[in-house]
Chains A and B, each alone.
Chain A
Amino acid sequence: MSRSNDTLLLANVSRRGLLKGLVGGSALLLAARWDLALANEQAQFGAGAMPGGWVDNPNVFIQIDSDGLVTIINNRAEMGQGIRTSLAMVAADELGAEWDQVRAQQAEGDQDKYGNQNTDGSRSMRHWYDPMRRAAAAARLMLEQAAANQWDVPVHEVRAEIHKVVHSATGRELGFGDLADAARGLDVPGRHALVLKSDRELRFIGKESGLINGELKSAHPKAIDGEDIVTGKAIFGADIDLENTLYAVIARPPVYGAKVKSVDDSEALKVAGVKKVIRIKGASQPAAFNPLGGVAVVASNTWAAMEGRKALKIEWDNAPAGNNADYTSDAYRESLEKAAQSPGKVIRQSGDVEAALKTAEKRVSATYYMPHMAQATMEPPVAVVMIRNGKAEAWAPVQNPRAAREGIAGMLEMDLDNVTLHQTLLGGGFGRKSKPDFVMEAALVAKEFEGQPIKLQWSREDDIHHAYFHAVSVDHLDAGLDAEGKATSWRHRTLSPSIASLFAPDPKHIAEFEQGMGFNTMPFSIPAIRLENPPAPAHVRIAGSDRCTICPTPGRSRALPMKWRWPPARTTVIMFWTCLGRPGKFTT
């Protein structure tokens, strides 16, 4: 073990650098040394380290109409985490806006204007809490200044209250709406001039509302999109309704990396409503976030397109896919479990594990398996794209609008400025919709239909079959205990295909940042430790792996079970798993 703890810490941080690079479609980043890349990044953290960074200009995020309606521009993807409500609450609280006078409006995909919009990694509130408070505080100061100007009094004599500014000395007051026009013309105060509200003055932040542990604390403030959702008016990706829309589905290569050899579309074209069948170019393996290619069926409605697809006769060429066509997860599991019996690439070592295991009073062993998991968003991937006069316009439920724009621009050789993206609500994201492949597919089809919107719909089967799977993993652990039951040795072999296989020739070993997600950061102080990573090749698109920190506890060597209560049956769609680990008696 030659690496310092600092290196491990940096390895964790580097995931951000990785994602940042990948989003731009750069596969070269993986060739760079993590440590070097990080050396340049050390001074930047949080939102500041993201492409586009943060923005706290009130003119970008806060609009106040003369009737007092406050519109908060939301620059993050809403996929059920409630960010359109929660960031609006942050701004409304700092501004002093009446909640029923607050609306949210989705920002266009424009990272240069709105700061980073890549909604991935559970960081919207962490990265945008401070900028939104500052933007709102600046707006509040501008309203106060506007009132002071109008009353011709020093600004320190006026105070913003809820949705109005008051001058206590004379009892005068003006609503935010009355002041909006004048405030708009003022300079935005610098960051140094801002004084954020004290906790005591806050109404929403840090206050419990809604249903907390079964108790209805307060039904307010209500969710921004709640009413639209319960009345069926909320607009998700597939709900974009443009005139003359054509509907498309794609038959993708069943094997990752395969190509179309030949296609007979004669029966498909006979299906009522089918307009056209076109071959879609796909990326070679590794495909990164690019389309997989295949054959698109374009029709006057989604169902006709699906029926047409069923009628296609396609011969696939599996040769470019290597041995992916032979891949079955059962056999793969067996091969990993077998490989786990032999030593692998040593990741971390201290003491003599083999000797300590031999002399241990008691030995505990366990092998754990995690299957592939599809993100399985309730709303399958879907996108609408229209191409006209050399410009592309997309409407899509994406987590990363910039990546979608860059994907289309790069693929169709357009300027980024000629690609606009309107972000809809997302019917779940879970990282699946960070990848813009489905938007790029829609653009490839739309290219053949100048001026006509194309709605590209994935079926549930498409979604599961062509997911960016969370990798399978096998973890084999051996621990030696002394007479008191204290751990004296720990050998852990982890095997799982790497996300790096999506962007570069398959390294067959997990990358350092993947190790840093709980493997090489194993926290127990045990005299003899060896962590190994035997090879595990990738055969499908991989989007990282989920691994538990699991400890074989003497007498109870099993992982804690997943808790599934309701629905108890018919969960035919693969759902996400929560795996809990507990250090048990290994409190050395």
Chain B
Amino acid sequence: MITLTINGQEHELDVPDSMPLLWAIRDVVGMKGTKFGCGIAQCGACTVHLNGVAIRSCVTPVSAAKGEITTIEAMADDPVGHKVQQAWLDLGVAQCGYCQGGQIMNATALLKRTPAPQTQEIVDAMAGNLCRCGTYNRILAAIERAADTRAVDPGGMDTRDMDEEEASS
């Protein structure tokens, strides 16, 4: 038996130690907000927090998931997570939405450790979260909005140009 603490609640699970946290959360505990995208830590759809750090649940065995696990379902009650969600809604970030839970989890972890990130820090931190719809520019704008350090950057289509402008100013 393995005990997982998810969103403050303990779950006793009869699963092998090697089972990835993703499938324990989805299929055994039955919480569906955390998504399966690739199974090899390449897309970020399965991102959850372990003791406040964003991890890929699809490659994290349950035996290594010791401590507080937080999923997208708990973000509405998290001050930073809620702010990120609100920014997402304000800017209409999501398209199909499948990757967005993971994006929000990663963005929230970023803002918790770096409350006012530079644009490049956001780009670097979010680079491992793929979005097949291509919502990257709005994700960037929403994180900046949630970070509360600047208004919505007109950014448009090219984050690289933004960096150059900032570098030259």
The dominant DSSP class at the B interface is loop
Pair B91/A81 contact, Cβ less than 8 Å? no
Pair A573/B42 contact, Cβ less than 8 Å? yes
Pair B92/A570 contact, Cβ less than 8 Å? no
Question: When each residue 205-247 of chain A gets 1 if its CB lies under 8 Å from chain B and 0 otherwise, what string results?
Answer: 0000011011110010011011111111111101101000001
Alpha-carbon distance between A341 and B85 when the two chains are bound, in angstroms: 56
B32 is contacted by which of A216, A222, A232, A272 (Cβ under 8 Å)? A232
Residues of B58-105 whose CB lies within 8 A of A = 71-73, 75-76, 85, 88-92, 94-101, 104
Among the interface residues B23, B98, B130, B156, which one has the most CB atoms of the partner chain A within 10 A?
B98
A231 is contacted by which of B34, B75, B126, B152 (Cβ under 8 Å)? B75
* B contact residues, range: 35 or more
Pair B152/A569 contact, Cβ less than 8 Å? no
Pair A428/B96 contact, Cβ less than 8 Å? yes
Pair B92/A226 contact, Cβ less than 8 Å? yes
Q: B21 to nearest A CB, angstroms?
A: 10
The dominant DSSP class at the A interface is loop
Residue of B nearest to A429 (CB): B96
Pair B130/A567 contact, Cβ less than 8 Å? yes
Pair A426/B158 contact, Cβ less than 8 Å? no
Alpha-carbon distance between A428 and B35 when the two chains are bound, in angstroms: 13
Among the interface residues B16, B38, B42, B45, which one has the most CB atoms of the partner chain A within 10 A?
B38
Alpha-carbon distance between A300 and B27 when the two chains are bound, in angstroms: 8
Pair B39/A213 contact, Cβ less than 8 Å? no
Q: Is B117 close to A, CB under 8 A?
A: no
By a CB distance below 8 angstroms, the chain B residues around A425 are 96-97
Q: A216-B152, A427-B96 are in contact. Are A573 and B160 (CB under 8 A)?
A: no
By a CB distance below 8 angstroms, the chain B residues around A235 are 32
Q: A295 to nearest B CB, angstroms?
A: 19
Residues of B28-46 whose CB lies within 8 A of A = 28, 30-40, 42-43, 45
Pair B126/A567 contact, Cβ less than 8 Å? yes
Q: A232-B72, A570-B42 are in contact. Are A223 and B96 (CB under 8 A)?
A: no
Question: When each residue 321-346 of chain A gets 1 if its CB lies under 8 Å from chain B and 0 otherwise, what string results?
Answer: 00000000000000000000000000
Among the interface residues A81, A238, A427, A457, which one has the most CB atoms of the partner chain B within 10 A?
A427
A-B contacts, 9 of them at CB < 8 A, read A79-B96, A81-B95, A222-B92, A230-B94, A231-B75, A378-B37, A378-B45, A428-B98, A570-B130
Residues of B within 8 A of A (CB): 15-16, 19-20, 23, 26-28, 30-40, 42-43, 45, 71-73, 75-76, 85, 88-92, 94-101, 104, 123, 126-133, 136-138, 140-141, 152-160
What are the nearest 8 A-B pairs in CB distance? Answer: A232-B33, A427-B98, A80-B96, A214-B154, A232-B72, A229-B97, A80-B95, A239-B32
